[in-house]
Amino acid sequence: MLTRSGKEKSMQEKNAGGTPAAPIKLDVSVRVIEPVKNLMGFASVKFNDCFVVENLKIVQGSKGLFLGMPSQPDGKGGYRDMAYPVTKEFRE
């Protein structure tokens, strides 16, 4: 299971009723490319064999690597994320 350091226990403690959350099965694939500016590659993640997020961008930022969410032009000169967390707890 992939988790951010120290987050797994606190997420389980926040679950309603104090019951630990069921583990999430993650299938992660990474495609490394020859760097193009700060773009290092692409990734996709499948959650519990039922939800997939594809075309995550692996980007080298000033503070290290990060994942950029898949996005498309919004028609106003910006971009709109195509997949995103719905709740504050999920964003943490």
CATH code for the domain in which residue 49 is found? 3.30.1120.40
Residue 47, domain extent: 23-91
Is residue 25 within 8 A of residue 31, CB to CB? The reply is no
Looking at the structure of the chain, the number of domains it has is 1
Instruction: Establish if 64 belongs to a structural domain.
Output: yes
* Residue located via tokens 């069921």: 22
Is residue 34 within 8 A of residue 40, CB to CB? The reply is no
pLDDT band of 12, cuts 50, 70, 90: very low
Is residue 56 within 8 A of residue 42, CB to CB? The reply is yes
**Segment 52-91, tens digit of pLDDT:** 888 999 999 999 999 998 888 888 998 887 776 656 766 6
